[in-house]
Chains A and B, each alone.
Chain A
Amino acid sequence: MTSSPQSPPFQRTRRSTNNIMLQVVAGCIPGISIATWYFGYGVLLNVLLSIVFALCFEALAISLRSRHIQTTLADNSALVTAVLFGLTIPPGLPWWLLFLGIGFAILIAKHIYGGLGQNPFNPAMCGYLFLLLSFPSAMTSWHIPNDALSSVQEFAPTSLSGLQQSLHLTFPFLSHNTLNPIEFVDGLAMATPLIESKMAGTSKLLTAWQTDQSLFARSSETAWELVNIGYFLGGAFLLFQRVISWHIPVAIITTVMTISILFYSPGGYAIYGTPYLHLFGSATMIGAFFIATDPVSAATTNKGKLVYGVIIGLSIYGVRAWGSYLDSIAIAVLLGNFLAPLLDHFLRPRIYGHKKGVLGPSDMGGGSNKVIDS
């Protein structure tokens, strides 16, 4: 461990896997902040609690697999899974649902397959889908503090009472009085606002701008668009830092945009929604930049990544327009994960000195290799 390396190269870049993972988390920060600002502490609480649970599960799995706990935990991969999981589940879920979901993600979806690098499916999305299928009603409610509904008080999800309510929702045992569930209304009653009525609408940001309303006023419904812009900026940061390659996000966004333009008919049947809202009124941005780009479960060749992105883009739209689930990112990404090995197998780059990328047994010869500086 402390000796010098035995084989070349002896010079290396200083970039490390745990650093890359941290950068992914950093890329989430704008999105998290905006979401917390609009939807209250529930979002932040989800993320923090997921992190705590995820690290515990990760440590448990590592010790069961008799690996070195410190070095394996330090790769920060559980942290990324936890942050993405915490961001996709609705705020206001009780703690034990979070516990179950992240436990499924870390233990079943990740470590049973052999831990980091071996998992065929995105762990965060597995955990999410596990909860969605097991607890559909809880998972499709989007709780926000009930101040929002009172016309007297100012809408302030980040106020102290908002925090209190979020804590009570997450930890039901904290409240001394028995809680009346009706007290906590389904604020938006959905994981994302992409329900039929909203999809037919126009940009709330645009409306607010045209009507001289504050773009950031929490009462206006600009929240989702701003959250998506936050993820878009975070994604741009990741691209700039070369943590992710452009192939997957560009393929997904282009596909969703193209297909929603093709199906969009203004004034027609409203279900298909406007292309703009498909991109910015939903979870497309976090999906395209953060979830689908998980390198472990995604396609790994550049051509494969493009096709993988197209498949995810098509299924995102397909589930939204014709499926029965509101959230389509998890299903689309898992479908992409299923196909990734196949894409990697067939869509390889052409190898130097060959006409093709996939070689048969007859292509054994490598000729005079190891020739540097002739």
Chain B
Amino acid sequence: MRFAEKIIESLCVSTRQPIPGGIKPPDYKQETLRSRLMPTPIPEELILPLAQHGNSRSRPLVKPGDKVLKYQAIACSDVTGIVDLHAPTSGIVLAIENFPIPSPVDKESKCILLKKDGLDAEIDHNTLANYRSLSYLELIKLIEQAGIFGLGGAEYPSRLKLKSGKNKKIKLLIINAVECEPYITADEALLREKAQFVVQGAEILQAACMAEHCVIVIESNKADAIKALEQTQLNSSIELFKIAAKYPTGSEKQLIQAVTSKEVPSGKYPTDIGILMHNAGTAYAVYQAVIEGKPCISRITTLAGGSLKTPKNFEALIGTPIDYLLNLCGLNQQTHTMTLMGGPLMGVKLARTDVPILKTTNCIIAASEDKFPPASIELACIRCGFCADVCPASLLPQQLYLYAKCQNFSELISHGLNDCIECGACAYVCPSNIPLIQYYRASKDELASQLENKISSEQWKQRFQHHQYRVKKDKEARRDPKRRETIKPTELTLKISPPIFSREAAKKEIAAAVVRVRKRKAQFIASSGGENTETDK
């Protein structure tokens, strides 16, 4: 038995088995795999959104009119001060203004507009021959400076994932090369041609999170990628793990289940059960960052869909306008009905195509009528249960739909709405064409805002009660100074929970925060050699 199999066996609670539910949609992957990975095309202008990921904000480190070099840092996080954006090529910053960004609606965000000078002149960067001489903290620092985010689509900063392993012991690092959505072949193309770099990246990640074992998981039908991996893996401790193709096995929680038969407890993270997962694309970016000293300025993006003459994979620069890439693939305007970012099952429909490629853009689909027919009319739910059969989380989508429609939130919670991963398998099989995911998202949003309201009203209630208590105390103190001590605040405040607003607790919290900040400041100065005096908030 192979080593990793043994480890996985030891991690297993029960015997290994495929995930429950799941679907096997036609994958249309062959058309993009016909050609090789295309080298980085450089468009005239690059649009680099400052807020690349979620809600975090970045601030530019350059001004309009500045000349920048390739790999130069051009923006850093507002909160942590960590550089998260680098110039993909050399050129001039034309403007820092609002530009449209990829979104289902017309949405704009602050972007750096970079005009190339055609020289592609690089800034000095250090290469590293042997990463093993570095400590894990130094590795994490290198990865952090390269602005790497989860390239699989979750936009989660990789450094945070790695750091979370510091406190919790990581037993198993999983490199996720399971691209279960149709059309997307970015990871497959990457592994086919750059398997040795991915394996090295995986080794670096393993060292950085101090994982005991590392496996690369791939679908068994990706023959070329498996062959390439097997050839490079000979003298590596990393094991290859093949699983049957089924959507949505590539989802983090489902893949953990498929590999280890363990489940991530609801509300927890994989690190809580000693598992860390990174995407194969992330591993490649980590290799580039640590060994070649190149920050993350490009990513592999699949351009697919029936409206493209030559669908293929690009190693595209971040900030490349999508329509530029579409035209490179020979977009047929007549058949082009819509543009999807991401896969056909979880992606978003783009409102416009003059928007840039982001660090998370793994696929662009120029849809045509034959593969993506217009939406059919939504019929009544007949509770056939096809959806429940395919749900990977073993939820009951038909019941969730029922309760979402009548806004019965307690039943929605009871049926596990918050455990829905929105993979869309239920809506894929629904014979009545019900857009189930839309219902679930609306309910989740409503639920979240309700919770927020509840918490804030609770806070105001307690503040008010505290205020009343103070007023009463003051009154009584004025009337009878001797009775002041006899009334205790607990008698008047709410019984259900300790008061959120308490002066002592607030003082303690502030003191603790000050200590934390000081400590972190000291650490930060120490680790950056005192050059960077910017402090955390």
Contact yes or no, B435 A7, CB < 8 A: yes
Residue of A15, A16, A359, A374 near B279 (CB, 8 A) is A374
Cross-chain pair count, CB within 8 angstroms: 240
Contact yes or no, B153 A372, CB < 8 A: yes
| B377 interface hit (Cβ, 8 Å) | yes
| B248 interface hit (Cβ, 8 Å) | yes
Contact yes or no, A359 B380, CB < 8 A: no
Contact yes or no, A9 B428, CB < 8 A: yes
| A268 interface hit (Cβ, 8 Å) | no
Contact yes or no, A16 B431, CB < 8 A: yes
| A11 interface hit (Cβ, 8 Å) | yes
Sort chain A's interface into a size bin. 35 or more
Contact yes or no, B266 A300, CB < 8 A: no
Q: Shortest beta-carbon distance, B22 to chain A, in Å?
A: 12
Residue of A18, A71, A366 near B419 (CB, 8 A) is A366
Docked pose: A3 CA to B377 CA in angstroms: 11
| A19 interface hit (Cβ, 8 Å) | yes
Q: Shortest beta-carbon distance, B227 to chain A, in Å?
A: 22
Chain B residues, Cβ within 8 Å of A177: none
Contact yes or no, A295 B154, CB < 8 A: no
DSSP majority for the B interface?
loop
Contact yes or no, A374 B433, CB < 8 A: no
Among A356-373, those with CB < 8 Å from B are: 357-361, 363-373
Q: Which of A7, A75, A357 counts the most B-chain CB atoms under 10 A from its CB?
A: A7
| B396 interface hit (Cβ, 8 Å) | yes
Question: A331-374 vs B: 1/0 string, CB under 8 Å?
Answer: 00000000000001000111111100111110111111111111
Closest-by-CB residue of B relative to A354 is B266
Chain B residues, Cβ within 8 Å of A367: 264, 266-269
- Given A3-B374, A364-B418, A372-B251, are A9 and B344 neighbors across the interface (CB < 8 Å)? yes
Closest-by-CB residue of B relative to A371 is B252
Which of B85-93, B178-186, B237-245, B316-324 is the interface stretch?
A: B178-186
Chain A residues, Cβ within 8 Å of B182: 11
| A301 interface hit (Cβ, 8 Å) | yes
| A2 interface hit (Cβ, 8 Å) | yes
Docked pose: A13 CA to B390 CA in angstroms: 13
- Given A5-B375, A354-B419, A369-B418, are A344 and B250 neighbors across the interface (CB < 8 Å)? no
| B407 interface hit (Cβ, 8 Å) | no
Docked pose: A296 CA to B441 CA in angstroms: 25
Q: Shortest beta-carbon distance, B312 to chain A, in Å?
A: 20
Closest-by-CB residue of A relative to B430 is A12
Which of B5-13, B59-67, B116-124, B408-416 is the interface stretch?
A: B408-416
Chain B residues, Cβ within 8 Å of A348: 396, 415
Chain A residues, Cβ within 8 Å of B176: 373-374
Contact yes or no, A363 B431, CB < 8 A: no
Closest-by-CB residue of B relative to A7 is B438
Contact yes or no, A17 B382, CB < 8 A: yes
Chain B residues, Cβ within 8 Å of A360: 414
Chain A residues, Cβ within 8 Å of B154: 368, 370-374
Chain B residues, Cβ within 8 Å of A295: 382-385
Contact yes or no, B346 A9, CB < 8 A: yes
- Given A351-B416, A361-B413, A373-B176, are A344 and B399 neighbors across the interface (CB < 8 Å)? yes
| B294 interface hit (Cβ, 8 Å) | no
Contact yes or no, B367 A4, CB < 8 A: yes
Residue of A15, A117, A245, A344 near B380 (CB, 8 A) is A117
Contact yes or no, B340 A10, CB < 8 A: yes
Docked pose: A298 CA to B371 CA in angstroms: 35
Closest-by-CB residue of B relative to A115 is B380
Contact yes or no, B437 A9, CB < 8 A: yes
| A262 interface hit (Cβ, 8 Å) | no
Among B421-445, those with CB < 8 Å from A are: 421-424, 427-433, 435, 437-438, 441
Closest-by-CB residue of A relative to B377 is A71
Q: Shortest beta-carbon distance, A267 to chain B, in Å?
A: 45
Contact yes or no, B399 A372, CB < 8 A: no
Q: Shortest beta-carbon distance, A337 to chain B, in Å?
A: 12
Docked pose: A352 CA to B266 CA in angstroms: 7
Docked pose: A370 CA to B346 CA in angstroms: 9
28 pairs, A vs B, C-beta closer than 8 Å: A4-B372, A8-B345, A8-B346, A8-B349, A8-B427, A9-B424, A11-B182, A17-B379, A245-B385, A295-B383, A300-B396, A301-B385, A301-B396, A302-B385, A302-B388, A349-B388, A351-B394, A353-B419, A359-B416, A361-B414, A363-B267, A364-B267, A367-B267, A372-B152, A372-B252, A373-B179, A374-B176, A374-B252
Apart from the given pairs A296-B382, A349-B388, 9 other A-B contacts in the complex at a CB distance below 8 Å: A4-B375, A8-B427, A357-B394, A370-B422, A372-B251, A372-B346, A373-B153, A373-B176, A374-B251
Taking beta carbons and an 8 Å cutoff, which residues of A are in contact with B?
1-13, 15-20, 71, 75, 77, 115-118, 245, 295-296, 298, 300-302, 344, 348-354, 357-361, 363-374
